[in-house]
Structure 1
Amino acid sequence: MALSSSAASSGNICPDFAIKVPMFPVHTWLPDAHVEAPTGGSVILAGVLLKMGTYGFLRFAMPLFPSGLHRAMPILVALAVVGILYGAWLSIAQKDVKKLVAYSSVSHLGFVMLGLFALTPEGVAGAVLQMINHGISTGALFLAVGVIYERRHTRLIADFGGLARVMPIYAVVFMIVCLSSIGLPGTNGFTGEFLILLGAFKSFPLATGLATTGVIFAAVYILWMFQRVMYGPVSNPKNAELPDLSLRELAVFAPLLVLIFWIGIYPEPFLSRLNPAVDTVLQLIQSR
């Protein structure tokens, strides 16, 4: 009776948090929300609001209803992996830069959920760290998209090209942020994804192997977008005289760039604060 009650309770609360994450297949609200929101709204949505769903799983659903969660674990892990791959494939197909970044969030947050559901110290710590990383990297991507949208009032990839010649400082900043989103070693994205995959492999080796291909797809859609926007000839005359980043805009990007390299090169100050809380949550789950 207790088991069925726990399963029913987790069945009621998990969909709410899944929509907020969002997980596949209840992710469809996110791309449109990002596209319609101003740059500041997208940054807040990616950096703060989406984490309410992942935090809800970690803080409420998993400790309060562990037995129901264990019964649903195969389905939840499968949805996380499908979200990783589906979000990546949809990102590859996008023609709008902002929509591409929005669908990439579905893929990246799939990694977060995979780490949480692994229920290993490495997986959960990596998931929490990746929540922070996603807010930094994806928030910076939305800021970068907002910079060129403010100047050109278009987000279509085909409307750009050759911006590295016109806006060299912006090109360097955009490149660093893109490499962070891919998870290049030395950036924050690598640290979180590596811990997630390491922890998840102990619990779900097959699912982790499939999820790893999402890292490759991320490199495909991010680098494809970067190449189309930054390189090639400046074929559109409207792009020929775009101003580079101002000091005010650089000041906004600077702390994000510092965090990208800090977490990527020396994550210990962050992990040392996360690990005790992660161990407490895992002990609470295992004790029930």
Structure 2
Amino acid sequence: MSALLVVVLALPAAGAMVAALLPGERAGRVAGTVAAALAFVASLLLWFDRSAGGTGVIRPWHEVDVAWAPALDLRFHLGVDGISYPLVVLTTLLTLLCCAYTVGHVPAGGRGSALVALLLVVEVGMLGTFLALDLVLFFVFFEVVLLPMYAVIAGWGGAGRRAAARKFALYTLFGSVLLLVGVFTVVASAGTADIVALTGGAALPRGTQHAAFALFAVAFAVKSPLWPLHTWLPAAHTQAPTVGSVILAGVLLKMGTYGLIRVAVGVAPEGARWAAPVLGTLAVAAIIVGALVCLAQSEIKRLIAYSSVGHMGFVLLGVATLTATGIQAALIGNVAHGILTGLLFFLAGAVKDRFGTGDLAALGGLRERMPGLSGLLGYAAIGSLGLPGLAGFWGEAFAVIAAVRRGGPLWLTLGVIAAVGGALTAAYFLRLLRRVTHGPASPVVAGAVCGPIARLEVAAWSPLVVLALAVGLVPALVLGMASEPVRAVAEWVAR
């Protein structure tokens, strides 16, 4: 089963090559979708025949460890455990849905087969980031996503796509430089890049841990994104094509929060304890700022983009508590955000395709013209605002609980303010529904010629609809597999 880790990476890589090289444009899209489907099936198979090996904090279910650059003592070291597995499956699922969606919906700007190929290359980078157990290998995969995502935004995005793509690239490169310096600092001090050996911080002196955590935290905060390093996100989401927005929100942001847990907290726990109050404060600031900005937004994709700032603020607050409850909240918050915000961007894209605008004031009365689409939008919105029974509830609720349980005036205050941010989240999503779905149909909606929801759209959206309910009702789908590794990480940080 260990070889399956390589297969999970190889399938989308091969699919990208086939999609790009096939002469038939539609054939390339179909071939890429088939490769994405096979990668999804391979990721599901990782659940079987699990056996946690090793004696360290990280005990992978499956592991591949071979020499990569022997002269530099670098290894091609991959592994999957309960922390990374949900994100691996989320990545393969969302990429499959985006590729399938592209079979019938090719945005203007270029060949659809080229778009599918780029999405598959991005998938390789994201999967490699979640599977890498070598710091240098982690950095390499972390960087793989930059150029293809830049090309997706710049090639198939909206009117301001080139400026948005440049901003995305510049911010990401800034974070990459800090990540590279952090990796060099750790490897030079510890003499190894193996994440399994480094986790727990035993190989690093206190000063090095502080420096490494600061570098890692800022690098991952750019990708997460954490206020005030979030300003690339709204432009990238708004200008990206629908599938680009889904991948950005659904998985790409999770590379930052996963890196914060796996690398920053795991490798430099003393640095994490030192910086936790600052990280928690910035996370709560992101929750409040994101919510207030959403209340003022007048464009649907931009509102959903800013909502990600607030949602990821709850994830980062959970991580900042450095408790098992908080890290579990961060993990399920990551998955819930990927499911629900991915669904929201799919639906926002469908709205813009049919009515030619994302302006909230111009979309009134959607319920009268397209009750099915309106109902799905309402479902995704109330899931994102944290309604109990849907996936968005657990991460936000337990991030607040973790902060309160952490104790002390600072953490109690942060927990209370975050709870207020949760109420503001409900306010802006209810405002979205009131403006878009209720009331009399606006002239734009009433005069548009739009067909019913297509079967391909139903196929792309249905898994996310089902998962939002399944994770909401049975959070153990995510939390159960992560409980042991999370507890191990929390115990090491608490020492």
Identity %: 39
In structure 1, the residue matched to 2:281 is 78
What is the alpha-carbon distance in structure 2 between the residues aligned to residue 260 and residue 94 of structure 1?
A: 25
In structure 1, the residue matched to 2:369 is 166
| Alpha-carbon displacement from aligned partner over 1:124-161 (angstroms, at most 9, x marks no partner) | 11110010000001111101100011112211111111
Q: 1:104 aligns with which of 298, 307, 311?
A: 307
Equivalent runs, 1:148-227 vs 2, <5 Å:
148-203=351-406, 204-227=411-434
| Alpha-carbon displacement from aligned partner over 1:149-175 (angstroms, at most 9, x marks no partner) | 111221111111111011011111111
What is the alpha-carbon distance in structure 2 between the residues aligned to residue 235 and residue 7 of structure 1?
A: 56
Report which of the two has the higher share of helix. 1
| Alpha-carbon displacement from aligned partner over 1:79-102 (angstroms, at most 9, x marks no partner) | 000000000000111111100000
Structure 1 residues 102 and 237 mapped into 2: Cα distance closer, same or farther (>3 Å)?
closer
Equivalent runs, 1:84-123 vs 2, <5 Å:
84-123=287-326
Matched, 1:267 2:475: yes
Extract unaligned runs of 5+ from structure 2: 1-203
TM-score (norm 2): 0.57
- How far did residue 238 of structure 1 move? 4.7
Query: Would you say the 8 A contact 1:166–1:243 is kept in 2?
Result: no
What is the alpha-carbon distance in structure 2 between the residues aligned to residue 13 and residue 84 of structure 1?
A: 21
Query: Would you say the 8 A contact 2:276–2:321 is kept in 1?
Result: no
TM-score (norm 1): 0.96
- How far did residue 284 of structure 1 move? 3.0
Larger radius of gyration: 2
Query: Would you say the 8 A contact 2:365–2:445 is kept in 1?
Result: no
Extract unaligned runs of 5+ from structure 1: none
What is the alpha-carbon distance in structure 2 between the residues aligned to residue 190 and residue 163 of structure 1?
A: 26
Query: Would you say the 8 A contact 1:162–1:231 is kept in 2?
Result: yes
Equivalent runs, 1:22-61 vs 2, <5 Å:
22-61=225-264
- How far did residue 280 of structure 1 move? 2.0
What is the alpha-carbon distance in structure 1 between the residues aligned to residue 238 and residue 220 of structure 2?
A: 22
What is the alpha-carbon distance in structure 1 between the residues aligned to residue 444 and residue 476 of structure 2?
A: 48
Q: Which aligned segments of 4 or more residues in structure 1 are displaced greater than 2 angstroms?
A: 1-5, 237-244, 283-287
| Alpha-carbon displacement from aligned partner over 1:13-58 (angstroms, at most 9, x marks no partner) | 2111010100011000000010110000000001111000000100
- How far did residue 4 of structure 1 move? 2.3
- RMSD, aligned CA: 1.4
- How far did residue 272 of structure 1 move? 1.0
Query: Would you say the 8 A contact 2:355–2:444 is kept in 1?
Result: no
Matched, 1:127 2:330: yes
Query: Would you say the 8 A contact 1:96–1:155 is kept in 2?
Result: yes
- How far did residue 123 of structure 1 move? 1.2
Matched, 1:9 2:212: yes
What is the alpha-carbon distance in structure 2 between the residues aligned to residue 232 and residue 120 of structure 1?
A: 45
Structure 1 residues 99 and 237 mapped into 2: Cα distance closer, same or farther (>3 Å)?
closer
- How far did residue 207 of structure 1 move? 0.5
Matched, 1:277 2:485: yes
What is the alpha-carbon distance in structure 1 between the residues aligned to residue 477 and residue 342 of structure 2?
A: 22
| Alpha-carbon displacement from aligned partner over 1:99-138 (angstroms, at most 9, x marks no partner) | 0000000000000000011122211111100100000011
In structure 2, the residue matched to 1:252 is 460
What is the alpha-carbon distance in structure 1 between the residues aligned to residue 289 and residue 426 of structure 2?
A: 15
Query: Would you say the 8 A contact 1:182–1:189 is kept in 2?
Result: yes
What is the alpha-carbon distance in structure 2 between the residues aligned to residue 90 and residue 200 of structure 1?
A: 24
